[in-house]
Amino acid sequence: MRLFRWSTILVLLTVLVGACTLFRQDPAKTPVGKLTLAFRNETVANSRLDPIRDKVSLVDAREATPSMLVLTAFPTDEEKRALEEWQGMSRSWQTKVNQQLPKTSAWMIPILEAYRAASLTLLARLHGARIDYGQFNQGRVELATRTDETIQARSEELKARTPKSPAASPAISAYRDSLLDQKLVDRQMQPIQAAPITCTRFGSEANCY
């Protein structure tokens, strides 16, 4: 959803830093790091996000303020348009990040795609007034934490891998099971669709839920 967080990208950059160290390069100066900084700057500059700026943390979920975490309001029509703009920006950013990931880090993509799907489920629930802002922000923090933990755990699995290691990743399996249990994704790792079915356009994407 792609509501992707700064803390998650920092974990991602930490995984990549080994290659960067060979050239004594700051991770923030890598292609992925530059994209992330650009996304943060774009959210600051985009006035269409102003209606939700004090209601959600636009880049890092764990930068949500205490008031955001307990906000019981539901989005107005103006705020829904801002949420759609935010989703379109986030999706565009994640597509660019996936394209920049080196082949050695391609293992991250299934995690990031599951994260996107779960994030979109949360956003659809907020957009459809099935949860309030506080519940949305709390859900994002929990999802962000779980995603960071999974990236770290999968990285450790790969470091310890031997020819006898199972092909399947216990860390990724546990992550997917957690998202399924919370009804944030379906078994194809896609956003949950709830009845009655309605469709809303988020940026350049039409999503039905």
Q: Could you tell me if 27 and 13 are in contact, meaning their C-beta atoms sit under 8 angstroms apart? A: yes
Rounded distance, CA 132 to CA 190, Å?
Answer: 22
Backbone φ and ψ of 185, nearest 5°: -145, 165
Compute the C-alpha angle 134/116/26, nearest 5°.
Answer: 100
Whether the model clears a pTM of 0.85, i.e. scores above it, the answer is: no
> How many separate domains does the chain show?
1
Rounded distance, CA 149 to CA 11, Å?
Answer: 9
**In one letter, which amino acid is 177?**
D
Does 161 reside within a domain?
A: no
Rounded distance, CA 167 to CA 25, Å?
Answer: 32
Q: Is 185 exposed, middle or buried (0-12, 13-18, 19+ CB in 10 A)?
A: buried
Domain that holds residue 197: 6-155+168-208
Q: Is 203 exposed, middle or buried (0-12, 13-18, 19+ CB in 10 A)?
A: middle
pLDDT, one tens digit for every residue, the chain (209 residues): 444 444 455 444 434 333 333 333 455 567 777 877 888 888 899 999 999 999 999 988 888 999 999 999 999 999 999 998 888 888 888 778 777 776 657 788 889 889 988 998 999 999 999 999 999 999 999 999 999 999 999 989 988 888 777 778 999 999 999 999 999 999 988 888 644 434 455 555 545 44
Does 56 reside within a domain?
A: yes
Contacts of 163 (CB under 8 A, 6+ apart): none
Does 80 reside within a domain?
A: yes
